[in-house]
Amino acid sequence: MKKTLLAMGVLGAFSSLAFAASNVTLYGLIEEGVVVSKAKHKDTMVDLKAGFDSGNRWGIKGVEELGNGYSVGFILEQGFNADDGSEGVAGKAFNVNLSFMLTADLVLSPSVVLVV
């Protein structure tokens, strides 16, 4: 009986964690292709080629509403080679995009002057 209650408690803890992380998105793009080439009087060559246009990448992005029109967000994006799974740039994590944002909805009344 105690083991069942403990298991239910652990499952309940993980379900609340999953609910709290609902503003986070995991995404990715894989560009992989086969290149077949044949020159006159030569053998046909077949190559596997990755990242033709914008490259292979995966990322995590999220936004959290803070209230009163404020929100914070982040984007972490890592490039990789689809052929072997290695990093796009060795030793550099999130080398494609690493950004943090703070946004605010500003409503200015006619009596408020914004000086930049």
Q: What is the pLDDT of residues 51-69, one digit of tens each?
A: 677 788 899 999 998 888 8
- The whole model's pTM is what? 0.58
Higher pLDDT, 113 or 65: 65
Rounded Cα–Cα distance for residues 19 and 16 (Å): 5
- Among positive and negative, which fits the CA dihedral 3, 7, 12, 75? positive
| pLDDT, averaged across the chain | 75
The alpha carbon of residue 77 and the mean position of all alpha carbons in its chain are separated, in whole angstroms, by 5
% of the chain exceeding 70 in pLDDT = 72
Q: What is the pLDDT of residues 27-40, one digit of tens each?
A: 998 888 888 998 88
State whether residue 99 is helix, strand or coil. Answer: strand
Closest-CA residue to 100 (of 66, 62, 73, 65): 73
